[in-house]
A and B are shown apart, each in its own frame.
Chain A
Amino acid sequence: MTITVPRRRWPSATAWVVTAVVVVVHVLAWQATEFSPAALVAGWEGMADFLSESLPPDLSVLGKSLEAAVITLYIGLLGTTFSIPFALVLALLASRATTSAVWGRQAARAVLSFLRSVPDVVFALIFVTAVGLGPFAGVLALVFHNTGVMGKLWAEAMDESDRGPREALRVAGASGPQIALHAVLPTVLPSLAGLLLYRLDVNVRSSLVLGLVGAGGIGFLINQSIKLFRFDEMVTHILVVLVLVVVVDQASAFVRKRLGA
């Protein structure tokens, strides 16, 4: 018996075109970003100076640093918590599982997209003009941006929920809000909680960046030490940030694992 071995196939014309386009885009990006390993090699002394000035870290600012890290944590916490009601309402309006009116879903999705597409740093700059420099502006910025992101994630989780219990309650004559309350939310609660913890983790890291634009916390201290050329202080702050990020990340991962989400 003879077995015909399929001939090796050459990549199709489409594959060649796609490859060519990808390569061209990378070349353009290389030029536009002034990507230059030579500049990096030539300027190594600058980096070496920077590092030698920053080591050893100045641990005398550790107390101040820890205090500011707690503020950063608080900004992330409040920014996440206060976005819960808004994200929940918008998610319920945006999900197929809970809203049947197409225009209603699209309106909610438009609001979520807007909040998501404006970076939290931009929101922070806007709120700084209203409430001045400080952590409160950071909290407001996170509330707005996180409502957009978390609302979308929550709406998707609701979309994926089992439609069976919803149908059963619809036959029983339950209204839309009652179905959302007694079929959709109880089913998706673990996923929503998991996504919430994930966002808390992200928001604590974002609030660090918000500090750089004046929203207080340890990001503000890092910015200050750079401006004063106190790189040894900056390294202390960065080490504290490292610990903060790892702790929040591990804690949120632990709880999410327990939730099974």
Chain B
Amino acid sequence: MLAVSGLRKSFGGRTVLDGFDLRVEAGEFVALLGPNGSGKSTALRCAAGLETPDGGSVEVRGSAAMVFQKIHLVGRRTALDNVCSGALGRLPLHRSLFYPQDVREEAVRCLDRVGLADRALERCARLSGGQQQRVAIARALCQRANVILADEPVSALDPQAAVQVMELLVDLAAEGMAVVAVLHQPELAQRYAHRIVEMRTAVAV
């Protein structure tokens, strides 16, 4: 589902990634662990297309969605609107001024999948951190993503909310998605991930 090979990236002469490989199959949950600066986030951002790698290749079958530590929803808009925005990639501009009814219906189903259908019309800023992260995952579902790239999805959450989000990600993997999560807590990785990839600091050139 996701194949990254020979990824290289440096920022201002500092090599962050030097030949990073990763294959994730459908139905698999892979955790990326490693110290700060080992390029975990950069690897995900390259896979998502937010950074252009200096070398190497990224192949995604279908589409990849990203889930962030800081969640990155539009706090002033409703959960429903935020989930709908996942569908923008397949909407022409003239249909995206107001979300069409079929997209809204799909978005409600996505919210229902993460257990928040009853909060659809609430502004995101009013939801708890854990709820917001689940809305962000619903946005990924509404994008019809096959791959979820999660960059420290639970680092900002309290333990209970973290467990909820982790279990949701595991369930989505079980339903056939490929999930890659950068994690800071090894115990969460050991408990939930099918496979753990340890990243080391790239050797400075």
Q: How far is the CB of B41 from chain A (nearest CB, A)?
A: 12
Report the minimum CB–CB distance from B83 to chain A (whole Å). Answer: 11
Known: A173-B63, A174-B88, A178-B88. A167 touches B72 (CB 8 A): yes
* CB neighbors of A among B72-88 (8 A): 72-77, 81, 85-88
Of residues 128 through 176 on chain A, the ones whose CB sits less than 8 Å from some CB of chain B are 162, 164-165, 167-175
Q: Are B73 and A182 in contact (CB under 8 A)?
A: no
Contact A171 B49 (CB under 8 A): yes
Q: Is the pair A181, B97 in contact by a Cβ cutoff of 8 Å?
A: yes
Contact between chains at A168 and B93 (CB < 8 Å):
no
Task: Choose among A168, A177, A179, A182 the residue that contacts B72 (Cβ–Cβ < 8 A).
Answer: A168
Quick check: is B40 within 8 A (CB to CB) of the other chain?
no
> Which residue of the partner chain, among A177, A182, A187, contacts B85 with CB atoms under 8 Å?
A182
Q: Output the least CB separation between B151 and chain A (Å).
A: 10
With an 8 A cutoff between CB atoms, is B191 at the interface? no
Closest to A189 in B: B76
Chain A contact-residue range equals 20 to 34
In the assembled complex, B164 has its CB within 8 A of some CB on chain A: no
Q: Is the CB of A168 within 8 A of B88?
A: no
Asked whether A168 lies within 8 Å of B136 as measured between CB atoms, the reply is: yes
User: Measured between alpha carbons, how far is A170 from B85 in the docked complex, in Å?
Assistant: 10
- Contact A174-B89, Cβ < 8 Å, known A167-B50, A168-B139, A187-B74: yes
Q: Tell me the interface secondary structure of chain A in the complex.
A: helix
> In the complex, what residue of chain B is closest to A184 when comparing beta carbons?
B74
For the complex, give the distance between the alpha carbons of A168 and B140 in Å.
Answer: 9
Docked CA distance A187–B136 (Å): 16
Residues of B within 8 A of A179 (CB): 88
| CB-based contact B89/A172 at 8 Å | yes
In angstroms, how far is the closest chain B Cβ from the Cβ of A236?
Answer: 46
Given A164-B70, A182-B88, A186-B77, CB of A171 within 8 Å of CB of B93: no
| Known contacts A165-B72, A167-B50, A182-B88, A172 near B96 by CB under 8 Å | no
Is residue B64 within 8 Å, beta carbon to beta carbon, of the partner chain?
A: yes
Partner of B64, one of A168, A171, A174, A190: A171
Chain B residues with Cβ under 8 A from A181's Cβ? 96-97
Chain B 116-146 against A: per-residue CB contact (8 Å), 1 yes, 0 no? 0000000000000000000010011001000
Which residue from chain A places its CB closest to the CB of B85 in the assembled complex? A182
Flag if B65 contacts A186 (CB, 8 Å).
no
- In this assembly, does A183 line the interface, its C-beta being within 8 Å of a C-beta of chain B? yes
> Contact between A172 and B93 (Cβ–Cβ < 8 Å)?
no
**Assuming the A-B contacts A168-B136, A173-B63, are A183 and B68 also in contact, with contact meaning beta carbons closer than 8 angstroms in the complex?**
no
Contact assessment for A164 and B143 in the assembled complex, using a CB-CB cutoff below 8 Å:
no
List chain A residues, Cβ under 8 A from B49: 170-171
For the complex, is B173 an interface residue (Cβ under 8 Å from A)? no
* Cα distance A165–B91 in the bound complex, in angstroms: 18
Contact of A172 among B65, B73, B76, B77 (CB under 8 A): B65
Tell me, rounded to whole Å, the shortest Cβ–Cβ distance linking B113 to chain A.
17
Do A182 and B96 have beta carbons less than 8 Å apart? yes
Closest Cβ of chain B to A209, distance in Å, is: 37
**Residues in B neighbouring A162, C-beta threshold 8 A:** 72
Residues A172 and B86 in contact, CB atoms below 8 Å apart: yes
A164 touches B68 (CB 8 A): yes
Is there an interface contact between B76 and A175, defined as CB atoms closer than 8 Å?
Answer: no
Complex CA gap A205/B93 in Å reads 40
- Do the beta carbons of B90 and A182 come within 8 Å of each other? no
B89's partner among A167, A173, A177 (CB-CB below 8 A) is A173
- Docked Cα-Cα span, A190 to B77, in Å, equals 12
Neighbour of B76 across the interface among A164, A170, A178, A187, CB < 8 A: A187
> Is A173 touching B88 in the complex (CB atoms < 8 A)?
yes
- In order of increasing CB-CB distance, the 3 nearest A-B pairs are A173-B89, A164-B72, A174-B88
What are 28 pairs between A and B in contact, CB < 8 Å? A164-B68, A164-B72, A167-B50, A167-B68, A168-B66, A168-B73, A169-B85, A171-B64, A171-B66, A172-B65, A172-B86, A172-B87, A172-B88, A172-B139, A172-B143, A173-B63, A173-B89, A173-B90, A174-B85, A174-B88, A174-B89, A178-B88, A178-B91, A181-B97, A182-B88, A183-B74, A187-B75, A187-B76
